[in-house]
Structure 1
Amino acid sequence: MNTVHETDVAILGAGPAGLAAALRLRQLDYRVALVDKADLPRPNIGESLTPGVPAILASLEADDVLAQVPQRATQRVLRCWESTDAAWSVRENAPHIIVDRSQWDLALLELARSRGVHALTGVASVTIDGTAGAWWIETGSAQHRIRAKWILDARGRRCARDTVALAPPLLALWTDLPHTGVPEVRIEAAMDGWLWGAPLPNGAYRLMAFCDPRTRRAGPGRSPKPGEWLSATVRRSQMFRTWADDCQSATIATCGATPYLRGDGWLPGCLTLGDAAFAVDPISSSGVEKAMRYSLQAVAALHTVMTEPGDASMAHAFLQERLIETAARHAQWTERTYAGAWPAKSQPFWLDRSVSFTAQMRDDGFDPLRRRVERARVAAASDPATPVGDTPLLETALFRRVRVDNELRLVDTPCLVDDRVRRRAAISHPRLTRPVAFVDGVELAPLLASLRYVDHLHQWLDWCTYTMPRAQALGVAGWLLHHGLIVADDGARA
């Protein structure tokens, strides 16, 4: 007998991206179903949680999840990166958290179920039929059927379609070594790749290597087996060499790790999330955080469409721009990171990754999406919305009359406001690489309008402190002065 479950949104995939979306949709009171072919818990990689993840969990009212999951945290990372000598890198306020990913996913899934998500895992097959607004999802031999208005596809890298690479090819190889006794995270640049190791909550040590797959295949007359290549690379390393023989006989897993972006993950009645939409370079260890954060943005766009259908095109534009911006910022950061490694000036693996991949492409092969990413990457090199804080300009301008610069204009731009995408007035100016509506969470247009009611900058700052802490007001004022958006009334820059 068929059972039909009526829902607003069906999510395919029970990884961090899909589960974050499910929890957020339940906060907004949508009916949610979630489907995954695998049983949870299941083995998975991506154990590293960057500092933004706890804040995301807090926004989802899921703070307790981390406490339930086996984990190891350290503030010290041993690096052989800028040179061949090992050096400690200390994270004062942001410990490196390594979790058991199988238990992490399971804890999020159980929380989603407790909040009313209709979750089906370990299903034999998934068949999708219907159209936008009236999808039918059939799951497994038990003939469970789900009827949904929208589908969120979070099934990961294997389901990514129509993607463009944002960097040269990258391959990940890894194995778990038992009882190494090493308590810290290690990262090391090698001649033709890099190594990463971290202690797992179960006592094993995860060793990963990243290389260009074309390099690994370039053996003398044959392609070395993964264990042989990994063993040879580890044997030449500074911090991992004692485990070379273990790697030779260990079971080695591999997967693609090339960063990419989907052309447009917004289809009629369907959005893609997580690795189905984009993948970042693993050098940042931020894949989980970026996948969850983008899911929250996607839910905001979907919520906008569901509540205000006339704003669908605005929500679509917002989500596409956020995705391109995320990819561009990450590309700009990874280029600097690869360029800072000791082999970067001479070795092909590093040279290829130390410069913009999109900028290197010839015009006849320059995909329009890559062109947009390249423009955003150039802009990300000098983020116009980064607070500047106290500056010498601020001190000299406090008791001067100031006004808005004549070249400043206001333009409408889609922004995330509370739980929806809305149009807000953004500042456009020749000295900004893009329009900016908010700095440090402060909406700029109404703040600038208030300048007309005061005589001097210090009076304006006093007025601002009615709605924000003084340190925040100083940061915004410093930003306005730094970019020349406020000038002295004699025409000189304040």
Structure 2
Amino acid sequence: MTELDCLIIGAGPAGTCAALRLLQLGYRVGLVERARFPRSQIGEALTPGIRNILELLQADDALAGLPHIAGRPSVLRWEHDALQPAAQSDTAVVARAEFDARLLALASSRGARLWQPARVQAIEGRPEAWRVQVVETATGTASHLRARWLFEATGRHGTAITRWACAPNLAALWAEFDAAQVAPDCLAATRVEALADAWLWASVLPSGRLRVMVLADPHAIGGGLDSSWRRALASSRSLPALADLAPAQPLRICSAAPYLDTAAWRPGRVKIGDAAFALDPVSGSGVEKAMRFSLQTAVAWHTWSTSTDDAGRSLAQQYFSQQLNQTCARHVRWCAAHYASAWSAAGDFWRARSTPPIQRTTPTASAIGEPTADFFSSLAEAPSAEPPPAGPDQWPANARIRLDAACQLVPQLCVVQDLVRTAPALTHPHLPRAVAFVADQAIASHWGLLRREQTLGELHDALARTMRPEAAGAMVAWLRRSGVMVRAA
């Protein structure tokens, strides 16, 4: 009988990210993955925040040399019914199958027990004492495990009974074209287009193929996948010639619907990645958000596991719920505004996605139903913080400054030394959310110093006497750009 602290079911980025973090925290970790790697997988866009995640996981070396494409120009047809060059993005397009395989290999090399390809045949017992039977696909060999907690990272394949739709249903039609099939200008830039009743994304993959994806209402597609695909391409401004070309591999369809699981934390088991929530792909940040939530879940469980009283465990569950609801709600709100900005926003497809969901019933703590009040309160937050006025960058070097009187310290759930704790955090109208730490330094610890009238140079020197010089520089830089400082009268 294999003894584990945590058994993770599913070894995509969310599952392996959780495994790597739990291993860092000293736990015995197992992973069950039903597919052989490398496996074909869509979702190749990696947003810049993934760099911080990989650094925390000490995974930079394992992913060095990963085939990717970055720094490519982009062409946009969104707010205007015309193709326009877009600002260069830091988002990279990677060989997703290799990305997943390398993360899994790293987790295995650091001590995670791996069953692959394999399936969970049975789960019995209770929280803290689960008994799990895992069967290897190739041989039928059964392994018997004992695990304290289960982390479900089964993606969209998990149970849908507790999933609450955050927006109207969405389907992705996608295919790939060989480079020799298409004109060179089709390969020159990443393309995003708002169409009359759908939107389109196209980019070259590290393999050299052109991936094209059409996102549409599945009810509008019906059974005519090929006709819907051709109609969408023909209506595009940048890729109409592809409408009459046969893709290099058969046209495929999959769900891209955004949702939130209202029972992601249950006694003895938690859901992460797409098992917990799925984001609208219009932002391209799904992989990063799934990995970041896995880190947050690992810390929440670590807090729960090491707590000796109900108060500590309650903090852990509150933090998990807060991060889940805020991540999902803020993305839903952003997506609604982005859909509303499209040139074609008057169409039914766009109108349906331009309005965030409203609270239709009184949320309860029940497992099934609408999200809790945390989700709707996050959804109702101001779309963005007030823009900061001209700040310290425009002031003379000898200008005397201080914290704005509107700054306050409020209690906030934070991660302190790998545990969830309540800590004071800085709020201000120019900040999108409360901030407790900058460069791992607690703002509240320097509250009296920050409120003192002084020059930026004097502030930096004073901070450098209480922390590392690079941390002092980072805190001053954050204060300069955040808009919380004002000139002293």
Structure-2-length-normalised TM-score: 0.86
Counterpart pick for 2:12 among 11, 15, 20:
15
Quickly say closer, same or farther: Cα 1:474–1:369, change in 2 above 3 A.
Answer: same
Q: Which residue of structure 1 aligns with residue 176 of structure 2?
A: 176
Contact 2:322 2:374 in 1 (8 A): no
- Where does residue 273 of structure 2 map in the other structure? 274
Shift of 1:303: 1.2
Partner of 1:221: none
Q: Which residue of structure 2 lines up, in the alignment, with residue 469 of structure 1?
A: 472
2:219 is matched with 214
Closer, same or farther: CA 169–247 of 1 in aligned 2, 3 Å: farther
Q: Give the alignment of 1:103-252 within 5 angstroms.
A: 103-140=98-135, 141-161=140-160, 162-179=162-179, 180=182, 181=184, 182-217=187-222, 224-246=223-245, 251-252=250-251
Q: In structure 1, how many angstroms separate the alpha carbons of the residues matched to 2:426 and 2:66? A: 44
Report the alpha carbon displacement of residue 285 of structure 1 after superposing the two structures with TM.
Answer: 1.1
Describe the superposition over 1:335-394 as per-residue Cα deviations: whole angstroms up to 9, x where unpaired.
2322222112x21211222232x23x655899652653232133252348x998835897
1:247-266 correspondence runs (5 A)? 251-266=250-265
Rounded to whole Å, the distance in 2 between the matches of 1:302 and 1:73 is 35
Compared with structure 1, are the counterparts of its residues 294 and 309 closer, same or farther at alpha carbon in structure 2 (3 Å cutoff)?
A: farther
Check the 8 A contact 1:79/1:186 in 2, yes or no.
yes
Q: Does 1:323 align with 2:324?
A: yes
**3-state SS of 1:40 partner:** coil
Q: Deviations over 1:83-130 (max 9, x none)?
A: 2322222426x2x32222222211111111111111111125532111
1:307 is displaced (CA, Å) by 2.1
Residues 76 and 480 of structure 1, relative CA distance in 2, 3 Å threshold: closer
Aligned partners of 2:75 and 2:85 also within 8 Å: yes
Q: CA deviation at 1:281?
A: 0.6
Matches of 1:73 and 1:432 in 2, distance apart? 30
Shift of 1:69: 3.3
Task: Name whichever of 34-43 and 6-15 sits farther off.
Answer: 34-43
Q: 1:436 and 1:309 mapped to 2: Cα distance?
A: 28
SS of residue paired to 1:210: strand
SS at match of 1:369: coil
Task: Show structure 2 runs of 5+ residues with no match.
Answer: none
Alpha-carbon distance in 1 for matches of 2:100, 2:81:
37
Mapped to 1, the partners of 2:230 and 2:449 lie a distance apart of 65
Report the secondary structure of 1:42's partner residue. Answer: coil
Q: CA deviation at 1:437?
A: 2.8
Q: When the two structures are superposed, what TM-score results if normalisation uses the length of structure 1?
A: 0.85
Task: After superposition, give the CA deviation of every residue in 1:277-325 in whole Å (9 maximum; x if it has no partner).
Answer: 0011101111111111110111111111222243111011011111111
Does the C-alpha gap of structure 1 residues 404 and 66 become closer, same or farther in structure 2, counting only changes over 3 Å? closer
Structure 1 Cα separation of the partners of residues 24 and 292 of structure 2: 16
CA distance in 2, matches of 1:199, 1:481: 42
Change (3 A) 1:121 1:389: farther
Contact 1:379 1:433 in 2 (8 A): no
**Equivalent residues of 1:387, 1:476 under 8 A apart:** no
- Cα distance in structure 2, aligned partners of 1:479 and 1:296: 26
1:173/1:409 CA distance change after superposition, 3 Å: same
Tell me the alpha carbon deviations over residues 4-57 of structure 1, each in whole angstroms, 9 at most, x when there is no partner. Answer: 211111000010000011111111221111001222222111111111122211
Q: Structure 1 150/457 Cα, relative in aligned 2: closer, same or farther at 3 Å?
A: same
Unpaired runs of 5+ residues, structure 1, are: 218-223, 489-493
Aligned residue pairs total: 468
Kindly state the Cα deviation for residue 234 of structure 1 after the two structures are TM-superposed.
0.7
Residues 216 and 176 from structure 1, CA distance in 2 versus in 1: closer, same or farther, beyond 3 angstroms?
same
User: Does the CA contact (< 8 Å) of 1:227 and 1:250 recur in 2?
Assistant: no
Distance 2:107 2:299 in 1: 18
8 Å CA contact 2:400, 2:487 repeated in 1: no
Q: Is the Cα contact below 8 Å between 1:404 and 1:448 reproduced in 2?
A: no
Q: Provide the residue aligned with 1:491 in structure 2.
A: none
Q: Indicate the SS of the match to 2:63.
A: helix
Structure-2 separation of matches of 1:343 and 1:210: 14
Structure 1 residues 315-394: aligned runs within 5 Å: 315-344=316-345, 346-356=346-356, 358-359=357-358, 362=360, 369=371, 371-379=373-381, 381-383=383-385, 390-391=391-392
Question: Match of 1:251, SS?
Answer: coil
Query: 1:37 and 1:471, CA in 2 relative to 1: closer, same or farther beyond 3 A?
Result: closer
Q: Structure 1's 447 and 398: CA in aligned 2 closer, same or farther, altered over 3 A?
A: farther
What is the SS of the residue equivalent to 1:303?
Answer: helix
SS at match of 2:118: coil
Residue 206 of structure 2 aligns with an amino acid whose one-letter code is P
* Pairing of 1:395-406 with structure 2 (within 5 A): 398-399=399-400, 405=405
Task: Indicate how the Cα distance of structure 1 residues 441 and 477 shifts in structure 2: closer, same or farther if over 3 A, else same.
Answer: farther
Q: Secondary structure at 2:343's aligned position in 1?
A: coil
**Separation in 1 of the partners of 2:389 and 2:14?**
32
Determine helix, strand or coil for the equivalent of 1:149: strand
Change (3 A) 1:441 1:393: farther
Alpha-carbon distance in 2 for matches of 1:70, 1:431? 39
SS at match of 1:469: helix
CA contact (8 A) 1:305 1:312 kept: yes
The Cα shift of 1:61 comes to 1.0
Query: What root-mean-square deviation, in Å, do the aligned CA atoms of Structure 1 and Structure 2 show?
Result: 3.2
CA distance in 2 between partners of 1:70 and 1:436 (Å): 36
Distance 1:38 1:481 in 2: 50
Cα separation, 2, equivalents of 1:478 and 1:54: 22
CA shift at 1:142, angstroms? 1.0
